[in-house]
Each structure stands twice: as C-alpha cells, then as structure tokens.
Amino acid sequence: MLDSKRMTAIEPIETARSRDRILELLLKAGEPLSVPALARALGISRNASHQLVVALEREGLVERASPIRTKGRPSRSFRLSPAGRATFPRQYALLARQLLGELAHHLGPDELRQALQRIGLSLADGLRSRVGEDPDAALPLIAGLMRELGYESRVDGGEIEAHNCVFHDLAMADPAICEVDLALLRSLSGRDVEHRRCMALGGASCRFAFTKADPPA
C-alpha cells in the first residue's frame, strides 16, 4: 500500500497525464466530448474528469460546445480551443524552409528581398493602429507587439533587442529572411532601421537601431 508521501509525489504526474490525455482525446475525436465520455475513456470518476476539464478551460486550452443530448438532461460538452490545438507539435519550420528554398530557387536575390519586404509590410499593416502617432512612444509599443509575435524583445538604449527570433531556423539557412523584420520595423516606426547585430550571423541577440528617415527627394 502506498504511503501518503508517495501518493503526493505521484498525483501531480497522474494529473498531468490525464490532462494531456484529455487534449489528445478531444483532438482525435473531431467533435465535442462530454465529461462522462472523457471519464469513461480515462477510467476515472466523472468528478475528477470535470475538475480536469474545468482547469483546462481556465487555461484556455478547451472551450464549451453545444450540450450533447442524452436520454436524460443534455450533457455539457467540450472541444479543443485554438490554443489547445497549438499545444500539439507542428512542423512549421520545416515547411517554411521548403517554401523559402522554393522562392529562392525561382527568384533572384533582389526579387527575393523585395518579396520578403512585402511580407513585413503586410504584417505591419495589421498592427500599425496599435502603435499610434507619437514616435517617441512607438518603440516600447513595437517591442510589445514583437513579444506577442513570439520575439523576446525589449527596448534598450533607444534600440530594440530581441533574444530570440521567430525566423531563427530560416535565418540560419538564408539571412535574407531578416528583411521581413526590417520592413516590419521600418513601417511601424516610420524610421530607418539598422540591423546592428544578428543571431543568425553569430550575435548573442538581434539589435535594431532606429534613425529618422530621410525625407523623399
């Protein structure tokens, strides 16, 4: 018989396994599942299943769906949320490398840079309204937007420093991908941007310096 100390060590592990199993069951089901159905699949009580689902709902990994009709009263059902689906591995980096390689094969260096700049400008179009018109307040807001996109970024001495890059694997294969970042930052800040340090070229981080853009001739 297990003593109480041993049970305390095991319970969090079993809870984590059950949580992961619920996410997996919801992924594979392709339709909402009720708490009783999850309990039967896991071999646990309905109360335990309900507690696990409620915790996952609080974390935003599952969401409520339409009640499932049964012989008795309708049973509450749950499905994966977009955040829940995102917890499963996806080979985005592999696909992105293939796409970049295909573009590079068909486009010359200048055309490739221009295509990547257009992607950066397109990203900026969807974010510009959140930066505002005050250039002095722009950098902290831009750094915050970059964090939302997955960069670990901060303002440091009038520059933006990022300790990770969402395009790191691609940049290691072809630094031209950095044109996306540069176009994004130029468009959001309304300034010229100098890429002073790049992790793909051996830097400890990426650093971007901002200077006033030259007026059009």
- Assigned domain for 149 exists: yes
Q: What's the domain count of the chain?
A: 2
Indicate whether 44 and 143 sit together in one domain. no
Tokens of 127: 């974010």
Neighbours of 120 (CB within 10 A): 21
Mean pLDDT rounded to a whole number for the chain: 85
Indicate whether 68 and 122 sit together in one domain. no
Radius of gyration of the chain (CA): 24
Indicate whether 73 and 114 sit together in one domain. no
Q: Give the domain-ending residue among 50, 85, 120.
A: 85
- Residues 186 and 178: beta-carbon distance below 8 Å: no
Instruction: Give residue 78's region: left, alpha or beta (phi > 0; psi -120 to 50).
Output: beta
- Assigned domain for 178 exists: yes
Q: How far is CA 184 from CA 9, 26, 107, 192, 196, in A?
A: 48, 37, 21, 11, 16
Q: How far is CA 13 from CA 4, 6, 8, 18, 46, in A?
A: 15, 12, 9, 9, 19
Q: Give the domain-ending residue among 85, 101, 126.
A: 85
- Assigned domain for 204 exists: yes
Indicate whether 23 and 55 sit together in one domain. yes
Indicate whether 105 and 186 sit together in one domain. yes
The pLDDT of 105-116, averaged and rounded, is 92
- Assigned domain for 38 exists: yes
Q: How far is CA 162 from the centre of its chain?
A: 16
Check residue 10 and give its pLDDT.
37
Query: Could you give the angle at which helices 109-125 and 92-106 cross, rounded to 10 degrees?
Result: 130
Name 154's bridge partners. 161
**CATH at residue 158:** 3.30.1380.20
Indicate whether 29 and 64 sit together in one domain. yes
Chain segment 60-102, per-residue pLDDT in tens: 999 998 777 766 666 788 998 888 888 877 667 777 888 888 9
**CATH at residue 19:** 1.10.10.10
Spatial separation of the C-alpha atoms in residues 100 and 16, rounded to whole Å: 38
Indicate whether 53 and 138 sit together in one domain. no
Indicate whether 100 and 203 sit together in one domain. yes
Check residue 215 and give its pLDDT.
57
Indicate whether 52 and 104 sit together in one domain. no
- Assigned domain for 172 exists: yes
- Assigned domain for 41 exists: yes
Indicate whether 19 and 103 sit together in one domain. no
Query: Does residue 58 surpass a pLDDT of 80?
Result: yes
SS (H, E, C) 76-111: EEEEECHHHHCCCCCCHHHHHHHHHHHHHHHCCHHH
Q: Give the domain-ending residue among 42, 57, 85.
A: 85
* More confident position, 75 or 175: 175
Check residue 70 and give its pLDDT.
65
- Assigned domain for 217 exists: no
Tokens of 8: 């305390």
Full domain range(s) for residue 124: 92-212
Check residue 134 and give its pLDDT.
82
Label residue 6 by pLDDT band (50, 70, 90). Answer: very low
In the chain, the DSSP E strands lie at 33-34, 62-68, 75-80, 153-156, 159-162, 191-197, 206-212
- Assigned domain for 54 exists: yes
**Max mean pLDDT range (18-22, 30-34, 138-142):** 138-142
Query: Does residue 154 surpass a pLDDT of 90?
Result: yes
Spatial separation of the C-alpha atoms in residues 32 and 65, rounded to whole Å: 6
Name 209's bridge partners. 159, 194
